[in-house]
A and B are shown apart, each in its own frame.
Chain A
Amino acid sequence: MEKSATRDGYGKALLELGRQNKDVVALDADLSDSTRSEYFAKQFPERFFSMGIAEQDMIGAAAGLAFSGKIPYASTFAVFSERAYEFIRNIVSRNRLNVKIAGSHSGIATGEDGKSAQAIEDIAAYRVLPNMVVLQPCDAAECEKMVFALADYKGPSYMRLHRNAVPVIHDSNYKFEIGKGEVLRQGKDAVIFATGTLVHETLKAAEILDKEGIKVYVVNIHTIKPLDSNLVIDLAKKTNYVVTAEDHNVIGGLGGAVAEVLSENYPCLMKRIGMQDMYAESGRPDELYKKYGLDAESIAEEVMKFVSKKK
């Protein structure tokens, strides 16, 4: 299967969007080669603004552009977008301005650079801001759809992107809709809601579980906020065993979001797979996923233990 990183999808789509819509502008904080906003920058230098290593200034400027009718896409690493958190809170989210923030190199999969670059709190941080939409694509094709969908959506958003190539499981016919979960695999014993890179680990885990006679639903949650509550509740009712999987702290991320919805609507047992309120370390992404329990084998093992409580 073809492999590509979500950031590649971002760069490709932004460039194409720039061709189609003259109001689209882009900003970056000296990471345009990594975030792939450089594709847009090279084609449309007059609509690309280099802001230097100054994330607060980048967000404020993006907000001013949005206030003036432009459609700004502001990109940097996920973790450094947090430098501008109070700017995002007080200018972008408070005023419901149409700023699209893209945070690349999220999660421990960022790997060798170590703790400083591995954002594991960004979903939680942005999810609590009123008006904010929080998205995470699982592959480059989905990311392309997301970039275009956001151009038609008016309001603040945070898009969580990734460094590494992952299998491209969607194609150009994929119908993407903000706020709708995507059931990738049918099951009965449990449901696993996964987001971002962990969608792929979860699909592999489902294969392993299948061989053990355990059938699990696999759902791609590309929109963490607004969460597809109906789907979450529906599949919880069908299985009674709910698992979440994310390359993010289990506190406040997808696990937190699903727990919030279920505790008010259909309380049931949950298992949250993700970073257990700790930072990781330097290493290859596959090694890190194994060590911190985010790889397919670890997920399968956890789900087996979890489902065994059923009897």
Chain B
Amino acid sequence: MQKDIVLELKQKAKELRKEIITIIYNAQSGHPGGSLSAIDVMVGLYYHKLKVDTKNPLWENRDRFVLSKGHCSPAIYAVLADKGFFPKSELEGYRKINRMLQGHPELNTPGIDFAGGALGQGICFALGIALACRLDKRNCNVYAMIGDGEAQEGAVWESSMAAAFHKLDNLIVILDKNQVQQTGKTKEIMDIGNVTMKWKAFGWNVIEINGHDMAQVVKALDKASKMKNKRPTIIISNTIKGKGVSFMELNHKFHGKAPNDDECRKAIEEIGNIDVKKFK
């Protein structure tokens, strides 16, 4: 049964990768690289793990998802539209004037739990939600996704210290470790070092996975959501920036650049040709 779920999720991720490319192509603006690296985990979250209600986006007992790396808005919008939080026709208005879908998410978009765009601000916000949920004895988890370039922000570590100090085992952070940031390889811009050791030293549960292997994603999310040992959990998700489109993979030039006509066609073709069985 688990195997069927994994296959379904892989198929969904493929569909949404195409959607991401289309959204950014239509807008001729946006961030494909990080959206493509994060989408597998987001699919794992929204189609397997998160307890949410599309009819009641602010349902008090929902699981929350804080997308700290807000520039990956095409990924979350593709997911939310597909889930039915808002009509798919909204995707055409991405980044356009007088339309709902802003360049970086805003709280007035149904299904959005955090207005990102400024890196380093998601974990502390998620931490605040987690404190409130614990006070209210809600049976839910708060998930937050950050990037590896983002881990260069000092606030990430302030919040990581505080989440452990406040024993927030309802907080789960996913580090989308896609190795590349705007101007080059993360290792060369500012190496964030051994993040497993770092978060362990901060008092967190650490789970490390290949973030493009859906079976690992599902297993890690299941494990993290049940870890109730008075510690927050981080999933180090090893990914590839631009995953699924050969010329975008690990290419920092596609951090924040839209594909042109040829590139868009090629990208869609490539994604379409991915063999689900071989897809890792």
Contacts and interface: CB of A to CB of B under 8 A. Distances in A.
A complexed with B: yes
B127 A60 contact: yes
Contact of A94 (B115, B124, B135, B155): B115
A46 B135 CA distance: 8
Nearest to A97: B107
A61 B130 CA distance: 9
B161 interface: yes
A68 interface: yes
Contacts of A270: none
A90 B121 contact: yes
A59 interface: yes
A63 B155 CA distance: 15
Contacts of B124: 56-61, 63-64, 87
B132 interface: yes
Nearest to B113: A67
B162 A68 contact: no
B131 interface: yes
B131 A65 contact: yes
A52 B165 contact: yes
Nearest to B160: A57
A86 B154 CA distance: 13
A298 B133 CA distance: 53
A169 interface: no
A95 B116 CA distance: 11
A87 B166 contact: no
A47 B162 contact: no
A25 interface: yes
A59 B159 CA distance: 11
A262 B121 CA distance: 39
A57 B155 contact: yes
A91 B165 contact: no
Contact of B162 (A54, A86, A91): A54
A52 B132 contact: no
A307 to B, nearest CB: 48
A56 B136 CA distance: 24
A49 interface: yes
A60 B155 contact: yes
Contact of A68 (B129, B155, B166): B129
Contacts of A86: 118
Given A64-B125, A65-B132, A90-B118, A49 B166 contact: yes
Contacts of B131: 25, 49, 61, 64-65
Contacts, number: 95
Contacts of A59: 124
Chain A interface size, under 10 / 10 to 19 / 20 to 34 / 35 or more? 20 to 34
Contacts of B129: 64-65, 67-68
A64 to B, nearest CB: 2
A70 interface: yes
Contact of B132 (A46, A54, A64): A64
Given A64-B132, A65-B131, A95-B107, A90 B117 contact: yes
B152 to A, nearest CB: 14
Nearest to B155: A56
Nearest to B123: A60
B162 A67 contact: no
A68 B165 contact: no
Q: Which of the listed residues A54, A64, A87 has the most CB atoms from chain B within 10 Å of its own CB?
A: A64
Interface string B131-155: 1110110000000000000000011
B161 A60 contact: no
B35 to A, nearest CB: 21
A69 interface: yes
Contacts of B117: 90
A66 B126 CA distance: 11
A218 interface: no
Q: Which of the listed residues A49, A66, A67 has the most CB atoms from chain B within 10 Å of its own CB?
A: A67
Nearest to B127: A61
A64 B127 contact: yes
B128 interface: yes
A59 B60 CA distance: 22
Interface in B105-120: 106-107, 113, 115, 117-118, 120
Contacts of A46: 135
A51 interface: yes
A217 B124 CA distance: 46
5 contacts: A56-B124, A56-B158, A64-B129, A67-B125, A87-B124
Q: Which 9 A-B pairs have the closest CB atoms?
A: A64-B128, A60-B124, A68-B132, A61-B128, A57-B158, A54-B158, A64-B129, A90-B118, A64-B125
Given A49-B166, A57-B162, A67-B107, 5 more contacts: A47-B135, A52-B158, A56-B154, A61-B131, A68-B136
